[in-house]
């Protein structure tokens, strides 16, 4: 079961799903939170996943 947490800093308001202690955000929400564009967020997530998979070999 997941809970919804509302994050509101006066400029950005997000509904964040929290499940088993993990926060889940859409890439659009991450971009909004960090005032970045979505393609940049997707690129960085892809780089992180690649690096993480190399470390597990």
User: pLDDT-based confidence at 1, cuts 50/70/90?
Assistant: low
Q: What is the pTM of this model?
A: 0.73
Taking phi over 0 as left and psi of -120 to 50 as alpha, with beta for the rest, 54 belongs to alpha
Nearest residue to 36 (alpha-carbon basis) of 44, 46, 25:
44
Q: Strand 13-19 to strand 3-8: parallel, antiparallel, or no bridges (unpaired)? A: antiparallel
pLDDT beyond 60 at 57: no
pLDDT value at position 27?
96
The total domain count for the chain is: 1
Domain region containing 11: 3-55
Residue 40, Ramachandran bin (φ over 0: left; ψ between -120 and 50: alpha; else beta): alpha
26 pLDDT more than 80? yes
Q: What is the overall mean pLDDT for the chain?
A: 90
- Who has greater pLDDT, 56 or 2? 2
């Amino acid at each position: 079961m997941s809970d919804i947490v509302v994050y509101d800093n006066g400029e950005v308001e997000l509904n964040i799903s929290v499940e088993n202690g993990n926060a889940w955000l859409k890439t659009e929400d991450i971009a909004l939170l960090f005032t970045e564009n979505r393609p940049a967020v997707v690129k960085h997530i892809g780089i992180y996943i690649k690096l993480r998979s190399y470390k597990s070999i």
